[in-house]
Structure 1
Amino acid sequence: MGAEAQKEKINNQSKNISMDTSKLSNPTVKAAFEAWQAGDSKLWLSFFTADAQLLDDGHPRNFQNFSTKAIGHERFTSVDIVKDSGRSIFGHFHSDTWGNFKTYFKFHLDANSKIYKLEIGQAEY
């Protein structure tokens, strides 16, 4: 099997990994995370305010663009650390574009449990 065929086999297997979300204690974050993992952009977006902000390694990005282009092509392959009452997730991540790396998603919720800001970036732990 050539390198490209092996890479495709690994990528297809990683898409089928069953994720243990029991560590995710915040119900909104857990539901949003599960929508992300399932590649369901409509459901994912339903957990966010209309003017949700995205910071990628501290730099502002277009949240809507990120949500519609990355979802289905990027996913966690493990949940390693959960902090901030279940609002911050650290784990291994796969991107069809950027490969595999450690990342974090930090969710900020308003009084109505809607996510108004998402911070993402590469993690070191």
Structure 2
Amino acid sequence: MSIQVNRLADPLVRAFVTAVNAHDKDAFNALLAPGATMADDGSDRDVADWTEREIFSCNGHMDVESESDGGRTLLVSYRNDTWGEMRTKWSFTVDDAGRISRFETGQA
């Protein structure tokens, strides 16, 4: 059973999931701090390249199963046209300006 996006505890993470599911690249990028970084399965990746390949060009979609760490860590059923559906964990680091400075994802 998934959590409705509008019920996610952290407003920034809620906006991140909303932007991913709407395929709204501008809204997504506005949430990221300058120089934001990310990792996939423990390996650092280029944010722009990875998000284009894994989210925006292949209809990425997040169904949140659970949240922890005040809403900054999510267990997600993630799907896209490239890989199908998989269970993933997402964690977010937020900077002092209230933007995402790093996010990490990987198989759960």
TM-score normalised by the chain length of structure 2: 0.88
Deviation at 1:23, TM superposition (A): 3.9
Match of 1:75 in 2: 61
Contact 2:8 2:71 in 1 (8 A): yes
1:114 aligns with 2:104: no
Q: Distance in 2 between matches of 1:118 and 1:26?
A: 14
Contact 1:89 1:105 in 2 (8 A): yes
Alpha-carbon separation, structure 1, partners of 2:46 and 2:79: 20
Q: CA deviation at 1:61?
A: 0.5
The reply to whether residue 26 of structure 1 matches residue 28 of structure 2 is: no
Q: State the 1:70 CA deviation.
A: 2.6
Distance in 2 separating the partners of 1:42 and 1:69: 16
Instruction: Tell me what 2:27 maps to.
Output: 43
Matched letter for residue 46 of structure 2 = N
Asked if the contact 2:55–2:80 (Cα under 8 Å) also holds between the matched residues in 1, the reply is no
Q: What amino acid does structure 2 have at the position aligned with 1:67?
A: T
Q: Is the 8 A contact 1:57 1:120 kept in 2?
A: yes
1:104 to 66, 80, 89: 89
Alignment partners' CA distance in 2, 1:91 and 1:118: 14
1:85 aligned to which of 46, 70, 73: 70
- Structure 1 letter corresponding to 2:35: D
RMSD: 1.4
Q: Look up the SS of the partner of 2:18 in the other structure.
A: helix
Count of aligned pairs between the two proteins: 104
The whole-number CA distance in structure 2 between the counterparts of 1:43 and 1:70 is 17
Q: Which deviates the most, 88-97 or 63-72?
A: 63-72
Conservation of the 8 A alpha-carbon contact between 2:32 and 2:101: yes
Query: Structure 1 stretches of 5 or more lacking a match?
Result: 1-18
Structure 2 equivalent of residue 16 of structure 1: none
Residues 67-89 of structure 1 deviation map (CA, whole Å, 9 limit, x = unaligned):
2333232112x211101111111
